[in-house]
Amino acid sequence: MTVFCSWENTSGGKPEPLIHGQENVAAVIAWGDSAIVDPEVDVVALCHAYSLAVRDNSCGQCIPCRLGTRVIADLFGKIADGRGRPEDLERIRELSQVVSKASFCEVGQDSPKAFIELLDRFKKEFEDALGGAPRDRNAYTYTSMVTAPCIEACPMHLDIPRYIEKIRLGKFSESLDVIKEKLPLPGSVGRVCVRPCESRCRRGKVDEPLQIKHLKRFVADCAAESLPHLEGRVAEAGLPARPREAALKPKVAIVGAGPAGLTCAYFLARKGYRVTIYEILPEPGGMAAVGIPDYRLPRNILAGEVDAIKTLGVEICYGKCLGVDFTLDQLESEGFKGIFIGMGCHCHKRMNIDGEDKGYYGYIPGVLFLRNVNLGLLSEVPRGRKIVVVGGGNVAIDCVRTAFRLGFEEACIVYRRSKAEMPADPVEIKDAEEEGVTFHFLIAPKRVVGANGRVTGLECIRMELSEPDESGRKRPMAIPGSEFIIDADVIVPAIGQDGDYSCLCNLPGVDISAKGTIIVDQNLQTVRGGVFAGGDCITGPATLIQACAHGRLAGLKIDGLLSEGKVEQFEEEAHQVFLKQLQSYKPSESVSLPGGTRRMPIRHEPPAARKLDFREADKGYTAEEAVAEAGRCLRCYRVVTCAFKKK
Amino acid sequence: MFECIIDDRVVETEEGTTVLEAARRHGIPIPTLCTLKALGSNRSCRLCVVEAEGPSLAPAVLASCDLKASAGLVIRTATPQLQKIRRTILELLLAGLPENREVQEIARKYNVESTPFEHAGHDECVLCGICITACRAKLGVSALSFAAQGDNERKVAGFVQLDGSACIGCGACANLCPIGAIGFSDAGDKREMSIYGRIVNTLDLVPCASCGRPFTTGKVVDYLETCLEGKVPEVRRVYCPECARVNYAPALIAEQQSRQTGEKA
């Protein structure tokens, strides 16, 4: 039974039950709001614990927050010790109001609001405490954590406000260090991330979200300019360049040198494990290398980041296919104590239309088309004058834009819904439009038309949209009799991907779901002990940052298994699950700040020039631009303190 | 140009101006510690808060140094609420730096003589950030930065620190510090930079080629050379300002005249 709860979640209800890890939460203060679940809870001590957390998380840059939170914490400390005076309560209230009105960021603005509310609600408890009423000080323990809407949105939970702040202060290499605490591929992710953080940026409610992705790229590029110092830099960040104790730690094998595998290797190598990655392709990067064209993610950027990981002592064996060149049994018998499977989704989904299987020259699935181009297998890429790509996602956009760069004169996209429903990144769609891609909306493919063994066109049918279905998307319905043919020399289906885990099928202990993904528990471990999996092979096709997040967690879990013999939920995971219930981003919230400071624009190569070759299309920020953009951050840190009853 | 209203006065101002600038231009005083015309704002002291309301802005208390003036904005600079906030900020400063005379003086300027708060100090300065902005943004030297003690990674500003290898000893920070927390003193052929009364850097001074009196640090001269790509006139490089003026102004004028005559011919 909740005694008091000051907030409602978006569905209008209370965030119940409040559970952190395995424990029931007795009470919580979460930025402006609070909930007291256990009627016995010591509100005075809870406020004191929260005031300490707020004080310790105040960045110290603005006076009201730095000094105000310090004084508030001192006053609560006095009261909790039974040394408080009646005027102290009023002082806390007034100070909370001033700090909340005058502070620069959310730490100062939001946190003290909870004090005002609790002082009112629990007036008697506070007054009793002034009199030094005896209280059991050891009945509860307190845990504090910090989040922000952008941090919550990031699958990796990167401390975004912190690295942005370091950019604003001109400390670019320290900013990169913040990112590299968790993510070894900042230059790559800084170019192609789908940036869930930006869609949750509260600045977006005022004018436009921050260019978080480009800021990440900026600090990565700053460091890349001084690449020869790479080894020194790694050591600088407190990481052993080549761990000396490596010979003592067990061997770990990783299947797949994609984002998940590389990130997993980074964390294991940093901890001193001897890591070997087995990769089927002739180069590292997985989907990031062969699924994303060079004009979006230049190969030297990815290669530089992979080199940095190799510098930590990671070995990569190329051209090795699981199930063909090696098996899990073999790896285990060779002494690998931990195995991480981080395979990607390289198989295409079929359109299931006539003509797809006729073997026509000119028919090639999107992922294969991009892979062949990226691997330089140009003879395997069908050519012609006009290319038709089917699909509305980022792979479809990558295919049409790549086509121009291969010399196709005309490139078009066929999508069965309308532009509003396209899952592709709007920025990518705009870039494609600028380059002259034609979009055909509300059209579905019906038959691949061919003659003399070659594709000649795509028979299509017009669609109309129904009312939104349970997924919220409008369902396209064919208009009978509206068939027509679009001429095409090359047809590229890009309507989704699947994994190819046939190599795992006969292996005991690794279960595959009906969707074809590997089944893992909440610790990313398969039923086969010591074998972990992450990335696309457990989620189906997803994002680069999600794969990296899995890679990192799996690396840390493997370390837990090999160093302590146990695999368990980390405190940070318990925090994240708990914080999710609190909804740090409220879509309906209005932010009362003057708008009009637009995001720093990105400079591009002009469309006519860039579509002729694979040069990088977007240019990075200059230092001045990055510092100015970083100055737009509202620093929406949220401080949370929970009370738990001691057992 | 557009109009906004500050304290019931119609104020005409232009795009890009902050409310603080606009108010000052029209003689409406708003207190601040961390904003200088030449350096812009550090958004840190929050003394310049105003009440703002506009066509697309719900009523809010905002720092006027960080608020761009816009058409239809209605600003109040001295309501009881704002006075209370400013008073509290100064009381907090007094509690944070109880022994600092300069801080007491600043507070007194705004009629705050004492603080109701108990000593809350670990700070040695107001951390306004002016010295850091001057060093980084204006001089491009970046020798000063915020640092913080303790293991909380989100702490940014606890004190100001100096990177002795980057510092050129120009003394701009010392001259701009509102509370005299940074200083420099010249003795013999050395300049000593100090922060919070502790010597943090010692630099070599160069003597004037004419009078022999040390007049600046070698690093300042070198830095000028680098910034101006070696185009620093000799008189500026080797002579103290006094000697340059007294001894070389006539020569410079003569040289300029002869050049002009040459151009005419």
Of A27-41, A100-114, A399-413, A557-571, which range is least confident?
A27-41
Taking contacts as CB-CB distances below 8 angstroms, the residues of chain A near B62 are: 593-594
* Residues of chain A in Cβ contact (below 8 Å) with chain B: 56-64, 66-68, 70-71, 74, 91, 94-95, 98, 101-104, 146, 159, 162, 165, 169-171, 590, 592-597, 637
B118/A63 CB distance under 8 A: no
Rounded mean pLDDT, A160-166: 97
- What does the pLDDT look like over B120-131, one tens digit per residue? 877 899 999 999
Q: A54, A55, A56, A63: which to substitute to probe chain B, counting the most B Cβ within 10 Å?
A: A63
Taking contacts as CB-CB distances below 8 angstroms, the residues of chain A near B96 are: 63, 66-67, 70
Separation of alpha carbons B39 and A18, rounded Å: 48
Of A75-84, A419-428, B94-103, B251-260, which range is least confident?
B251-260
Do residues B97 and B126 make contact, with C-beta atoms less than 8 angstroms apart? yes
Of residues B47 and B250, more confidence is placed in B47
pLDDT for the residue A62: 96
- Rounded percentage of chain B residues whose pLDDT exceeds 90: 76
Q: Measured between CA atoms, how close is A58 to chain B, in angstroms?
A: 6
Closest CA relative to residue A76, chosen from A47, A114, A105: A47
Give B122-173 as a 3 state SS string: CCCCCCCCHHHHHHHHHCCCCCEEEECCCCCCCCCCCEEEECCCCCCCCCHH
Nearest to A60 among B46, B95, B127 (CB): B127
Of A31-40, A280-289, A519-528, B232-241, which range is least confident?
B232-241
A70/B120 CB distance under 8 A: yes
> Using 50, 70 and 90 to split pLDDT, how confident is the model at A587?
confident
pLDDT for the residue A19: 87
Taking contacts as CB-CB distances below 8 angstroms, the residues of chain A near B46 are: 62-64, 102-104
ipTM: 0.92
Of A17-31, B63-77, B154-168, which range is least confident?
A17-31
Taking contacts as CB-CB distances below 8 angstroms, the residues of chain B near A59 are: 154-157
Kindly tell me if the per-residue pLDDT of A190 is higher than 60. Answer: yes
Taking contacts as CB-CB distances below 8 angstroms, the residues of chain A near B157 are: 59-61, 66
A590/B49 CB distance under 8 A: no
Task: Report how far apart, in Å, the C-alpha atoms of A494 and of each of A274, A281, A422, A469, B194 are.
Answer: 38, 21, 13, 23, 65
B44/A71 CB distance under 8 A: no
pLDDT for the residue A232: 39
Taking contacts as CB-CB distances below 8 angstroms, the residues of chain B near A56 are: 150, 152, 155
- What does the pLDDT look like over A130-146, one tens digit per residue? 987 777 878 999 999 99
Taking contacts as CB-CB distances below 8 angstroms, the residues of chain B near A95 are: 88
pLDDT for the residue A347: 83
Nearest to A98 among B44, B85, B157 (CB): B85
- What does the pLDDT look like over A228-277, one tens digit per residue? 444 434 444 444 445 555 567 899 999 999 999 999 999 999 999 999 99
B157/A60 CB distance under 8 A: yes
pLDDT for the residue A226: 57
Kindly tell me if the per-residue pLDDT of A1 is higher than 70. Answer: no
Helix (H, G, I), strand (E, B) or coil at A575: helix
Using the Cα atoms of residue A360, residue A365, residue A368 and residue A371 in order, give the sign of their dihedral. Answer: positive
B156/A61 CB distance under 8 A: yes
> Using 50, 70 and 90 to split pLDDT, how confident is the model at A523?
very high
Taking contacts as CB-CB distances below 8 angstroms, the residues of chain B near A162 are: 153-154
pLDDT for the residue B76: 97
| CA distance from start to end of chain A | 19
> Using 50, 70 and 90 to split pLDDT, how confident is the model at A501?
low
Secondary structure element (H or E) that encloses residue A497, with its range:
strand A497-498
Q: Measured between CA atoms, how close is B225 to chain A, in angstroms?
A: 23
- What does the pLDDT look like over A429-438, one tens digit per residue? 999 999 999 9
Secondary structure element (H or E) that encloses residue A533, with its range:
strand A531-533
pLDDT for the residue A228: 41
| Side chain identity, residue A237 | A
- Rounded percentage of chain A residues whose pLDDT exceeds 90: 79
B61/A101 CB distance under 8 A: yes
Mean residue pLDDT of chain A comes to: 91
Mean residue pLDDT of chain B comes to: 92
pTM score of the predicted model: 0.92
Chain B residue with minimal CA distance to A107?
A: B154
pLDDT for the residue A11: 47
Nearest to B85 among A101, A104, A597 (CB): A101
pLDDT for the residue A506: 55
Rounded mean pLDDT, A141-153: 96
> Using 50, 70 and 90 to split pLDDT, how confident is the model at B233?
confident
Q: Is the peptide bond before A284 cis (omega within 30 degrees of 0)?
A: no
pLDDT for the residue A502: 60
Of A12-21, A117-126, A426-435, B156-165, which range is least confident?
A12-21
Rounded mean pLDDT, A89-113: 96
Kindly tell me if the per-residue pLDDT of B219 is higher than 90. Answer: yes
List, as one string, the DSSP characters of A400-448: HHHHHHHT-SEEEEEESS-GGG--S-HHHHHHHHHTT-EEEESEEEEEE
Kindly tell me if the per-residue pLDDT of A549 is higher than 60. Answer: yes
pLDDT for the residue A238: 44
Q: Measured between CA atoms, how close is B79 to chain A, in angstroms?
A: 14
B57/A74 CB distance under 8 A: no
Chain B residue with minimal CA distance to A92?
A: B117
pLDDT for the residue A86: 93
> Using 50, 70 and 90 to split pLDDT, how confident is the model at A500?
low
B92/A67 CB distance under 8 A: yes
Separation of alpha carbons A360 and A449, rounded Å: 9
B29: tokens are: 């005083």
Kindly tell me if the per-residue pLDDT of A157 is higher than 80. Answer: yes
Taking contacts as CB-CB distances below 8 angstroms, the residues of chain B near A171 are: 145
pLDDT for the residue A235: 40
Taking contacts as CB-CB distances below 8 angstroms, the residues of chain A near B95 are: 67, 71
Of A582-586, A597-601, B33-37, which range is least confident?
A582-586
| Side chain identity, residue A32 | G
pLDDT for the residue A227: 46
Kindly tell me if the per-residue pLDDT of B147 is higher than 50. Answer: yes
A101/B57 CB distance under 8 A: no
Q: B4, B46, B161: which to substitute to probe chain A, counting the most A Cβ within 10 Å?
A: B46
Q: A56, A69, A71: which to substitute to probe chain B, counting the most B Cβ within 10 Å?
A: A71
pLDDT for the residue A174: 94
The β-bridge partners of A604 are: A618
Kindly tell me if the per-residue pLDDT of A9 is higher than 70. Answer: no
B88/A95 CB distance under 8 A: yes
Nearest to A63 among B58, B89, B155 (CB): B89
Q: Measured between CA atoms, how close is A25 to chain B, in angstroms?
A: 24
